[in-house]
A = this chain, B = another copy of it.
Amino acid sequence: MMPTPPPACRELARILRDGSRFLMLPHVHIDGDDLGSMVGLAAALDRLGKESYLYSPDQVPEVFRWLPGSERLQDQMPRGPFDAVILMECPSEGRLPPGIRPRELGRLVVNFDHHLGNTMSADVHWVEPERAALGEMAVLLVDSLGVPLDREIATALYVALVTDSGNFQYRQVSAETHRIAARLVEQIGDVSEICRLLFRDRPVAELALTGRVMQTLRTSADGRVAWAELDSGMLQATGAREEDAQNLVADVNRVRGTQVFALFKHLTSDQVRVSLRSTGPDVNRVAALFGGGGHRLAAGLTLAGPDLEEARHRVLEALKRQMAEEEAASGT
């Protein structure tokens, strides 16, 4: 039993039923949630005889290329006008593909997202920040369109759901996430191959690189901070490319008992880039001290200069100060 769809969902469904040509736009650096939601929604619109176009300047990431329908993504802007332009997971202008002005492309602009603090200007807003993935909302939208789920639609929306929910492991996963997953799995059947392609299988060079970085893992601040390093020598030694480092943070940030993880990337001689992840302390404040930014639990910064050791010292000290301040403030 699915709950009644929210009014914004029904409004978006009405727009899609009334129009005939639609454009969907993902955020920059397209990910599994926008890609899967776009592909699944486009398949549902096919069933209704509607035209839909999927534009992104980014290529489909390799890990998703097996997904039927992902080849519909085009890097040439199709000719408008469109009855509606649907922005997928674009909480602010800066997240749009470069040079895109949605209002010039279609009669209506739809803001379709699950991010907190979405400030995008649009005609129709369907934003639910408590959702684990846009894919959850896309399932409700397909329901509201009156299109039955089938294997093709379900596979795309399952990709969306599992990638953005961290395979059902993240904070926003709810009972409804699993109820929606049940409906998708009902159509798909055996999901083990999909999960293997998405979460496990990696090029051997990427695994070798991950292994090297894992070996640099150290802890500081009484074991509450873990950090690791990546340098250009490791890329050379393993034959990995910089793109192979995309999953590194998630694969290496696994030290038991830590609250904060820092990855120091020293890939060019003039700067050190630092990725911060947290399960509590506000790493966005630490990133901001160095001119970086992000969110409370995930942020990044860049330090000029070639000295990795100094960069590490400065960032680790700032992390310790932040944690000490938060502890003092909470009275622990």
Does A232 reach chain B (CB closer than 8 Å)? no
**With A and B bound together, what is the CA distance between A83 and B211 in angstroms?**
52
B-side contacts of A212, CB under 8 Å: 211, 215
Contact between chains at B256 and A199 (CB < 8 Å):
no
B-side contacts of A219, CB under 8 Å: 204
Instruction: Given A175-B186, A211-B215, decide whether A201 and B168 contact each other with a Cβ distance below 8 A.
Output: no
Instruction: Given A214-B214, A217-B208, decide whether A178 and B169 contact each other with a Cβ distance below 8 A.
Output: no
Does A94 reach chain B (CB closer than 8 Å)? no
Instruction: Given A211-B213, A279-B196, decide whether A201 and B171 contact each other with a Cβ distance below 8 A.
Output: no
Contact between chains at B207 and A252 (CB < 8 Å):
yes
**Mask: chain A, 182-217; 1 = CB below 8 Å from B; 0 = not:** 110110001110011001111110011011111101
Least CB separation from A190: chain B residue: B171
**With A and B bound together, what is the CA distance between A69 and B183 in angstroms?**
33
Does A176 reach chain B (CB closer than 8 Å)? yes
Contact between chains at B208 and A214 (CB < 8 Å):
yes
B-side contacts of A175, CB under 8 Å: 182-183, 185-186
Instruction: Given A182-B178, A214-B208, decide whether A256 and B171 contact each other with a Cβ distance below 8 A.
Output: no
**Mask: chain A, 171-183; 1 = CB below 8 Å from B; 0 = not:** 1011111110111
Instruction: Given A173-B191, A178-B179, decide whether A207 and B255 contact each other with a Cβ distance below 8 A.
Output: yes
**With A and B bound together, what is the CA distance between A217 and B195 in angstroms?**
22
Does A167 reach chain B (CB closer than 8 Å)? yes
Does A72 reach chain B (CB closer than 8 Å)? no
Contact between chains at B167 and A168 (CB < 8 Å):
yes
Instruction: Given A173-B192, A174-B185, decide whether A254 and B168 contact each other with a Cβ distance below 8 A.
Output: no
B-side contacts of A87, CB under 8 Å: none
CB < 8 Å neighbour of A178 from B167, B185, B192: B185
Least CB separation from A189: chain B residue: B174
B-side contacts of A238, CB under 8 Å: 215
Does A257 reach chain B (CB closer than 8 Å)? yes
B-side contacts of A218, CB under 8 Å: 204
Contact between chains at B169 and A195 (CB < 8 Å):
yes
B-side contacts of A253, CB under 8 Å: 200
Does A329 reach chain B (CB closer than 8 Å)? no
Contact between chains at B1 and A201 (CB < 8 Å):
no
Least CB separation from A252: chain B residue: B207
B-side contacts of A173, CB under 8 Å: 185, 191-192
B-side contacts of A167, CB under 8 Å: 167-169
**With A and B bound together, what is the CA distance between A195 and B174 in angstroms?**
14
| Top 5 closest pairs, chain A to chain B, by CB | A211-B214, A178-B182, A169-B195, A201-B256, A175-B186
B-side contacts of A196, CB under 8 Å: 169, 279
**With A and B bound together, what is the CA distance between A201 and B258 in angstroms?**
9
Does A226 reach chain B (CB closer than 8 Å)? yes
B-side contacts of A254, CB under 8 Å: 200-202, 207
B-side contacts of A201, CB under 8 Å: 254-257
* A228 → B minimal CB distance (Å): 9
